[in-house]
Structure 1
Amino acid sequence: MRSLPSLAAVGAVLVGLSLPAGAAHATPAGPGVTGKVLARTTLGDTDYILREVTIPPGQTTGWHYHNGPVRGYVARGTLHHYDATCASDGVYTEGDPLREAAGPGYVHLGRNPGATDLVLRAVYALPHGAPFSQDAPNPGCDFE
């Protein structure tokens, strides 16, 4: 089984890029949620994309999953993270690392219950050409 490069190695590759930021693909998110590509590169059949996601107060990412692992951190604010059982699988504050597994077996939602913007910075390791996320139906949670 092929192992993924470390976040530090991917970060070093991305820092060396001089590509302009691009618009994010549409994701299942609440009003005002934005994503901005900061850098991207492709190694073999994997796209490594450094992205900043901003979630306004009271909004969510919507239910979704990723086709590859996501590693990042909370740059500002507090993230409440939920799994498909509607259980909280983490509360992350400024500086905390964040790991999201890949595949439809890991449907999740991020929520900003705070009074200020939540800002996440993350590296997506996706199969070449894959979208940032895949929409998933609400598994029956009533806190959205």
Structure 2
Amino acid sequence: MIRRCTREFVANPAPAVGTASRTLLRLRLAGRDIVVRRTRIVPGGTSGWHFHDGTLFVLVTRGVLDHPYLARGPAEYRRFRLFREPSGPDNAHVARNNGTTEVRILVLYVNPAGAPLSRQVPPPSGG
């Protein structure tokens, strides 16, 4: 079943700051929730530290995304870069915009049915 999607960008809930998303597609298929979202991150904005129960595929469409992981360290993705975010707490990370222009990403979530889009974790000390 395809669910109604949002026309406007809506601010993401705390701990996110300076981020807003618009859901383009949401459906349940073979025990998975498939969600496609566009997200904007203003300069200085952050998603807050979190992880996902499912796998995500992320395309950076504007700017440079700072995307460090707790266990794997720093990562930076530039415009037109496509990357995969693995699932689970061992892959906790944050999405930040350390630049001076808005970052835009297109995200495909492949989550277990009924799972939240993300789960918060405490930030690392000093981070």
- Tell me the TM-score normalised to structure 2 length: 0.87
SS in 2 for 1:82: coil
In structure 2, do the counterparts of structure 1 residues 43 and 27 end up closer, same or farther at CA, with 3 Å as the change threshold? Answer: farther
- Structure 1 residues 56-135: aligned runs within 5 Å: 56-85=42-71, 87-88=73-74, 90-135=75-120
5+ residue gaps, structure 1: 1-16
Name the structure 1 match of 2:16.
29
CA–CA distance in structure 2, aligned partners of residues 123 and 24 of structure 1:
18
Q: Please say if 1:38 is aligned against 2:24.
A: yes
SS in 1 for 2:80: coil
Which entry has the higher C-alpha Rg, 1 or 2? 1
Asked if the contact 2:55/2:87 (under 8 Å) is kept, the reply is yes
CA–CA distance in structure 2, aligned partners of residues 86 and 61 of structure 1:
18
Name the structure 2 match of 1:139.
124
SS in 1 for 2:68: strand
- Tell me the TM-score normalised to structure 1 length: 0.78
How far 1:20 moved relative to its partner? 3.4
Asked if the contact 2:12/2:19 (under 8 Å) is kept, the reply is no
5+ residue gaps, structure 2: none
Which protein is richer in strand relative to its size? 2
How far 1:66 moved relative to its partner? 0.3
Q: Alignment identity in percent?
A: 33
**What count of residue pairs does the alignment treat as equivalent?**
124
Query: Structure 1, residues 25-54: CA drift from partner, whole Å, max 9, x if none?
Result: 635311x21111111111121000001111
Amino acid corresponding to residue 13 of structure 2 in structure 1: A
